[in-house]
Chain A
Amino acid sequence: MTDSQKKAAYWQANLRLVLICLIIWFVVSFGFGILLVDPLNNIAIGGYKLGFWFAQQGSIYVFLGLIFFYASQMNKLDRKFDVHED
């Protein structure tokens, strides 16, 4: 693989990963927290209605997980495609 092919493949892998992460990002916040809030509110966890919980708590925890997942996967990609720093 030439250097520019390698860079292109790295970029494609990155875009795929970003897309997966952003789908999850959208589903937990806009999906569970806003569009599907009413049906989810029929389910209760403790005193929280589930839709309300996603809107005010759950989505934030998922966002956190997503960023660290992305960062660690990208570190692997950086090495795999040999584009890492130092």
Chain B
Amino acid sequence: MDLKTMTYLVVGSTFLLYIYIAIKARAASTAEFYVAGKGVHPVLNGMATGADWMSAASFISMAGIIAFAGYDASAYLMGWTGGYVLLAMLLAPYLRKYGKFTVPEFIGDRFYSKAARITAVVCLIVASLTYVIGQMKGIGVAFSRFLEVDFSVGLVAGMVIVFIYAVLGGMKGVTYTQIAQYCVLIFAYTVPAVFISLQLTGNPFPQLGLGSTLAGDNTYLLQKLDTVLMDLGFGAYTAQKGSTIDIFLLTMSLMIGTAGLPHVITRFFTVPKVKDARSSAGWALVFIAILYTTAPSVGAMARFNLIDTLQIGKIGSAEGNLKYEDRPQWFKNWETTGLLQFEDKNGDGRIQYYGPGLEEKAAGFGWKGNEMVKVDRDIMVLANPEIANLPNWVIALVAAGGIAAALSTAAGLLLAIASSISHDLMKGVFTPNISDKTELLASRIAMAGSILVAGYLGLNPPGFAAQVVALAFGLAASSIFPALMLGIFDKRCNRVGAIAGMLTGLTTTLLYIFAYKGFFFIPGTAIMPDTAQGWIFGISPGSFGAIGAVLNFAVALVVSRMGDEPPEHIQHLVEDIRVPGGAGAAIDH
């Protein structure tokens, strides 16, 4: 069976599976639409959180970024897993104890103020919408390859699918579908990784293969990769290329952003008990770690194979570079999408792919510059099995996995946006008397609106999928996380402090990002050059969230101390959410 038929078949049958589950578990009430009736087992909830969490950024984009950045991309690996430690210890159990539907609802109650609730809704929408833009980029890449069309056409096709999918079911449908999606995506991610690890090192575990010697050779894979990349002028794979401060802050920003993202926090409202919220964070990380510990191997091996394909002989020798007409099928397929571009600068019909460190020597070979003028990082994971010549069913599976990852996260985020608009803004503040039915309708309209905005901005995304998503984390880190944490750990924090803190964190981070990425991400409106030299103190826009969070904490603490203490019933509320059991409270009164 040819690849195209196979891909349609595999992607199509996974879709049928999701739709079947979604219809079986259709949301009946408003409560179920948002949080699945609080009855999901911690292990299953962990699995669904994993699918919710691992988006196009993790599945499609991250290993590609690792492939090209090497060690520097460790910020993504540590950042997107370490946040679960914070979530399990600082937020999840307490928010579960409080037991409401949405994050703004908690903030509004804890800071006894509708203004605080509205501020939280604004922060949530800004962060989630940015996140959805990143997903749209990933969905666009997956669909453009799968349908063999231009990226923009693929993106529109993806928007339609997300629309049908997210608007159809609510959280309950989503929870069970996400468990199925987790299984599809993790299988799709690990199978090619195992194959490639076996091919290159003879070790079936990618985590160990990365630290092993190459098959039939005594050199370690990473050592060989370092040497090859340095010879081509790219800089060693395992060496640090960016500044330490930026890697540090990016890691921090991703960690606290993880713990501040509403669609992940909402997940912990669905477990039966407080103690389940703690262990569920652990189970979520188990399922996430399977992908995250595999990703470094996927990245390194993809880079290794890419170079091996293009540089067929000694660097600089007449026959050393692959002839353009001999390029493999995957190369042609990706050229169709416009995400891979070759330009024969010196007109010799061969592909020269090298880095800035080789310029001088390259001129001596008669090379006129790197001819792989565009290699979009986001294609690496999808192209990986093709580069390694794996069977068609594996390639088809990866396409299905990438789409599952993007869909599940987009659905979770859209639900968080929709519920914050319909539940927090309309029902909670502006129009408290609307019926459940109107509320559901409003949330569906909100979803549709978000898809359109995110899809439009996804056409000209401010970075690769994982980088756009990193911006979203920075926004969540600087606005929502500090407010939640202070709400639980600082009894003295009052409403003015919390609102001032959230606004400070959000605006500083947003302005810093817009200054480099363009206002509202519209191309051409950036006022500063988005390069390492242009960044203030070398802090990239994606890393600024950590600074924004520090500002948020500082402002909230100081302003709270200047004002009144929160009212007594709020202080009791804080004491109450700090302990799991409800029964103990009554005895002493």
Contact = CB atoms under 8 A, between A and B. Distances in A.
B211 A45 contact: yes
B495 interface: no
A71 B88 contact: yes
A78 B89 contact: no
B287 to A, nearest CB: 11
Please list the 7 inter-chain residue pairs (A to B) with the smallest Cβ-Cβ separation, ordered nearest first: A47-B220, A3-B588, A55-B74, A67-B282, A46-B211, A71-B278, A56-B296
Interface stretch (B428-436, B553-561, B574-582): B574-582
B292 A60 contact: yes
Contact of A47 (B81, B90, B223): B223
B248 A30 contact: yes
Contacts of B74: 33-34, 52, 55-56
Contact of B89 (A22, A30, A83): A22
B281 interface: yes
Contacts of A33: 74, 78, 251
A60 B575 CA distance: 33
B278 A74 contact: yes
Contact of A35 (B66, B210, B238, B248): B248
Interface of A: 2-4, 6-7, 10-11, 14, 18, 21-22, 25, 29-30, 33-35, 37-38, 41, 45-49, 52-53, 55-57, 59-61, 63-64, 66-68, 70-71, 74-75, 78, 82-86
Contact of A11 (B275, B296, B578): B578
A75 B172 CA distance: 28
Contact of A41 (B81, B238, B247, B289): B238
17 contacts: A3-B587, A4-B588, A7-B584, A18-B89, A29-B251, A30-B251, A34-B244, A46-B220, A47-B223, A55-B77, A55-B78, A59-B81, A60-B293, A67-B282, A70-B89, A70-B278, A82-B584
- Size category of the B interface is 35 or more
B85 A85 contact: no
Given A7-B579, A47-B210, A85-B274, A64 B584 contact: no
Contacts, number: 147
B588 A78 contact: no
A78 B575 contact: no
B207 interface: yes
A10 B585 CA distance: 13
Contacts of B251: 29-30, 33-34
A67 B281 contact: yes
B279 A71 contact: yes
B63 to A, nearest CB: 11
Contacts of B588: 2-4
Interface in B198-219: 207-208, 210-213
B90 to A, nearest CB: 7
A45 to B, nearest CB: 7
A35 B582 CA distance: 44
Interface in B479-510: none
Nearest to A46: B211
Given A29-B251, A52-B71, A71-B88, A46 B275 contact: no
Contacts of B292: 60
A83 B578 CA distance: 10
B212 A85 contact: no
Nearest to A14: B578
